[in-house]
Amino acid sequence: MRRITAILLLAVLVSVTMPAAAQQAEAKEAARSANCAPGKLEVLKQVTGRVGETIYKVSCTGQKDAFVVIQCRDRTCTVLR
């Protein structure tokens, strides 16, 4: 019983963390398209539910105090600012 519980818990953790990593990669790619070499990635807002949405602040490396704001719905990310 413990082994089945552990396997189910692992499956849930993998299903939750994999999309987040993919979404962060898409957010960094959107930042690159805005001429920003992505550095630190911060979550400004996260909405869960059927149509989840995450808004990231991506710091640009090599430029002091420069950043872009990226909105991601599922794995589709667009530059807001």
Q: Three-class SS of residue 17?
A: helix
| Ranges under pLDDT 50 in the chain | 8, 10-18
Q: How much is the pTM?
A: 0.72
- Which pLDDT does position 2 carry in this prediction? 66
Cα gap 41→28, rounded to integer Å = 8
Q: Which of 80, 67, 16 is nearest to 40 (CA)?
A: 67
